[in-house]
Amino acid sequence: MHIFYRTELEKAARRMILIHRTDTLIKLIIRTITRDLKVLHAGIFLFDKQKQNYVLTASRGKQGVKVPPGLVKISNDSPLIKYFFSRTYNLWKDNFLLAKRTRIVLKRDSVKKNTKLKNFFERLLYQVSIYKIDIALPIAFRGELLGIFILGEKRNKNNFYPEELTFLSILSSDVAMAIRNATLFDDLRVQLEKNQTLFFQTISAFAHVIEAKDKYTLGHTERVAEYSLNIAIQIKKIIRIKNWEEFKKNLKIAALLHDIGKIGIPEKVLNKRKPLNDNDWTFIRAHPLIGENILSPLKDLKEVILAVKYHHERYDGKGYPYGLEGKRIPLMAAIIFVADAYDSMISDRPYRKALSRTEAKKEIEKNSGLQFNPKVVTAFIQAYTARRV
């Protein structure tokens, strides 16, 4: 009969490896253990690098018997930890702490006479009794104590079989490796997220530089990114978008960088208070292409570059720089075009006052199918109706 749970547990131990979130992993282990070994409760203390102590991360068992997780932590120099590190205190030189065996030790003459040892075991048994531990096992990897397994009594009060003990030792070392593996994954993931954040912060920083040059109101770029994303969320309901996560990410990058090409427009044109002449307009019309050119080395951002290149093309073909028409304008460019126009309309400019939000929305609806892609306008109105933006 105990062969059965063994194979079950072995399978579970194997599956662990593919769980790359430490917390999920720990919970799975504890659930399997309590179910298959039929113990009153079980828990895992895990070493917390920040806090520099061992925290009860998961525990399971009967109400009133199980130790509530999260709150309980034990320090590096508590007996329960020291036991597994010390050749002096671990008299049996083996891989587990058995509560019953430890109680008997206190009756040994050699221990009674040794104050230090006696003291240690008394404090150890105190901890053992608080956490109602019947067995504890180290979760160790290459000499590092990653955590401790604690198990309560079996429901039928029987002792653990020697075979079960061996199996639990093996399981602990499997768990140690699974935890180590999950931690490495966590680290890689954290690094990936950090890099992602740094990337977006960097392009935002550059976007701000362009804003500053262009006398735009502060935060224009960030607002265009926000509007674009909200339009995209609505348009997804009417158009199938392949690889949505990728689309969202690229849209955000494109929105933040849409005006990067303005860096190529002479300052005297950008800052002009008088109406622009033909020569000035040649520069203005070139900024999407300058943007394309600046970003052209970024081979992984093809979609972004196209959105930057075409974000001033009109649906009716009267836009610039190419006069591209209708569906030939990439969706991402069409979205940014509306978001950009909207934010410009509701901002003060040197040569005109801002429109109200209602006026701006009317203006955009009026231009559906002319200046703007009708589906994008629908999505925009959907996103910004009965909402303050």
343: CB partners within 8 A, 6+ apart = 220, 223, 224, 227
Query: Which span sits near a copy of itself by CB under 8 A: 15-23, 127-135, 365-373, 381-389?
Result: 15-23
User: What is the nearest approach in angstroms of a copy of itself to the Cβ of residue 374?
Assistant: 34
User: What is the nearest approach in angstroms of a copy of itself to the Cβ of residue 267?
Assistant: 5
- What radius of gyration, in Å, describes the C-alpha atoms of the chain? 33
Rounded to whole angstroms, how far apart are CA atoms 121 and 245? Answer: 57
| Edge-to-edge strands, sheet with 73-75 | 73-75, 53-61, 41-48, 144-151, 135-141, 97-98
Contact status: 238 vs a copy of itself (CB under 8 A): no
Residue 20-59 contact track with a copy of itself, rule CB under 8 A, x = bound: x---------------------------------------
Closer CB to a copy of itself, residue 40 or residue 301?
301
Rounded to whole angstroms, how far apart are CA atoms 81 and 145? Answer: 9
Closer CB to a copy of itself, residue 175 or residue 341?
175
Residue 251-280 contact track with a copy of itself, rule CB under 8 A, x = bound: ---------x--xx-xxx------------
Rounded to whole angstroms, how far apart are CA atoms 256 and 336? Answer: 10
Contact status: 229 vs a copy of itself (CB under 8 A): no
Q: Which of 65, 130, 198, 218 binds a copy of itself (CB under 8 A)?
A: 198
Query: Which span sits near a copy of itself by CB under 8 A: 11-19, 129-137, 216-224, 343-351?
Result: 11-19
H-state helical runs in the chain: 2-16, 22-37, 79-85, 99-105, 109-113, 115-130, 162-214, 220-235, 244-257, 267-270, 278-295, 302-309, 331-345, 357-366, 374-383
Query: Which span sits near a copy of itself by CB under 8 A: 9-17, 32-40, 148-156, 316-324?
Result: 9-17
Taking alpha carbons only, the member of 279, 231, 283 closest to residue 252 is 231
Backbone phi and psi for residue 38, each to the nearest 5 degrees, phi listed first? 55, 50
Q: How far is CA 123 from the centre of its chain?
A: 41
User: What is the nearest approach in angstroms of a copy of itself to the Cβ of residue 83?
Assistant: 24
Residues that bind a copy of itself (CB under 8 A): 14-15, 17-18, 20, 173-174, 177-178, 180-181, 184-185, 188-189, 191-192, 194-199, 201-206, 208-209, 212-213, 260, 263-264, 266-268, 294-295, 297-301
